[in-house]
């Protein structure tokens, strides 16, 4: 069969037909998938019978894999992060692992257990968000930098957590990381500009907490405009692949306390680059065990001060 694409919305998302991710894919098919990902930002493939090993093989065709997470241990293999509603619900807009200097390029999510209703994943096109900004705001955003961290400051009241969720959060924050990234990132393959913010942002460099919050609210409102968002309603045995360099995502918590399990494997990314060609920097934490980091990008301070 030959690969064909079926768009899900104008701005984001396409179904991939004629490709079984469990198969040995030709270089040409992988190149076509990469091009499709650049254009549509998120791809959905039917993957009946795909197991962890198959998901790893598929993801590795797009580049070296990261380990599961900088602080959370892997599941069945060191590359797999178990996404399990029992321990954590990612119902916050975010881009994966932006608190390190080399956030993953591509995330793959494989559905295992899906609740009978709800449990959709939202994926937003942050390039469409950037384009929808009025020109003066775009020009301003081009100059801004943001500090991202895995340690939450809990300025907002903490919701009641189950013991398993509290333990997960403790592990998540067990080693503090901080990186400073451009608010507008130039995509290394397509050259497209996108807003690079999301839930791990602690603040905008040079602005007060209140000013940061207002600016982020303004920018984030463009990311989450319904026209920029794919709302994927899962079946078990599917693979969602999204370009983590130019999207944000959100797991909707609308399925009561029913089980929901997926497995995530991510492809390593490079250091983000701003519109003016400046690279992101790590401020805190050595993440080289998670994803390759050039030696000159490892911060001098690698533990909490």
Q: Which is nearer to Fe ion, 94 or 193 (CB)?
A: 94
In the region spanning residues 67 to 96, those forming contacts with Fe ion, defined by CB under 5 A, are: 90, 96
SS3 171: helix
94 is catalytic: yes
Give the HSE-up count for residue 1: Cα atoms under 13 Å, Cβ half-sphere.
Answer: 10
Q: Are 102 and 270 in contact (CB under 8 A)?
A: yes
Q: How far is the CB of 96 from Fe ion (least distance, A)?
A: 5
**Would you give the DSSP letter of residue 297?**
G
| DSSP type of residue 228 | G
User: Which residue has the closest beta carbon to Fe ion?
Assistant: 96
User: Is 260 among the catalytic positions?
Assistant: no
Bridge-based pairing of strands 184-186 and 193-195 is antiparallel
Give the residues across from 281 on adjacent strands: 180
Instruction: Supply the minimum distance, in Å, between the C-beta of residue 173 and Fe ion.
Output: 16
Q: Catalytic: which of 222, 264, 270, 286? A: 264
| Residue 91 C-beta: closest distance to Fe ion, Å | 11
Other Cβ atoms within 10 Å of 257 Cβ, number = 10
Question: In the window 91-120, what residues touch Fe ion (CB under 5 A)?
Answer: 96
- Does the annotation count 279 as an active-site position? no
Reply yes or no on whether 264 is catalytic: yes
Considering the candidates 222, 249, 270, 286, report the single residue annotated as catalytic. 249
Number of residues near Fe ion (by CB under 5 A) = 2
CA dist 183 → 46, 247, 269, 289 (Å)? 34, 13, 17, 26
Q: Which among 79, 94, 181, 228 is annotated as catalytic?
A: 94
C-beta separation of 205 from 147 below 8 A: yes
Q: Nearest distance from residue 122's CB to Fe ion, in Å?
A: 11
Binding site for Fe ion (CB under 5 A): 90, 96
Which residues are annotated as catalytic?
A: 94, 96, 249, 264
């Amino acid at each position: 069969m030959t690969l064909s694409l079926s768009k899900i919305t104008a701005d984001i998302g396409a179904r991939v037909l004629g490709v079984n991710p469990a198969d040995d894919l030709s270089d040409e098919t992988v190149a076509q998938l990469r091009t499709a990902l650049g254009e549509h930002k998120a791809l959905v493939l039917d993957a009946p019978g795909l197991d962890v090993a198959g998901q790893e093989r598929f993801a590795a065709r797009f580049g070296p894999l990261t380990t599961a997470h900088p602080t959370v241990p892997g599941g069945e293999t060191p590359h797999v992060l178990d996404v399990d509603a029992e321990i954590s619900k990612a119902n916050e807009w975010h881009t994966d692992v932006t608190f390190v200097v080399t956030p993953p390029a591509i995330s793959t999510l494989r559905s295992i257990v899906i609740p009978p209703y709800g449990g959709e994943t939202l994926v937003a096109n942050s390039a469409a968000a950037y384009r929808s900004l009025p020109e003066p705001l775009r020009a301003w955003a081009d100059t801004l930098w943001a500090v991202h961290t895995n340690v939450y400051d809990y300025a907002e009241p903490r919701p009641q957590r189950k013991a398993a969720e509290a333990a997960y959060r403790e592990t998540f924050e067990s080693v503090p990381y901080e990186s400073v990234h451009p608010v507008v990132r130039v995509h290394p393959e397509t050259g497209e500009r996108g807003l690079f913010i999301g839930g791990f942002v602690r603040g905008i460099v040079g602005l007060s907490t209140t000013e940061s919050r207002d600016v982020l609210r303004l920018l984030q409102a463009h990311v989450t405009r319904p026209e920029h968002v794919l709302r994927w309603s899962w079946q078990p045995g599917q693979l969602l692949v999204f370009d983590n360099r130019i999207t944000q995502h959100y797991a909707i918590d609308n399925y009561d306390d029913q089980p929901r399990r997926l497995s995530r494997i991510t492809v390593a990314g490079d250091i983000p680059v701003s519109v003016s060609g400046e690279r992101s920097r790590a401020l805190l934490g050595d993440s080289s065990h998670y994803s390759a980091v050039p030696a000159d990008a490892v911060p001098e301070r690698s533990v909490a001060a």
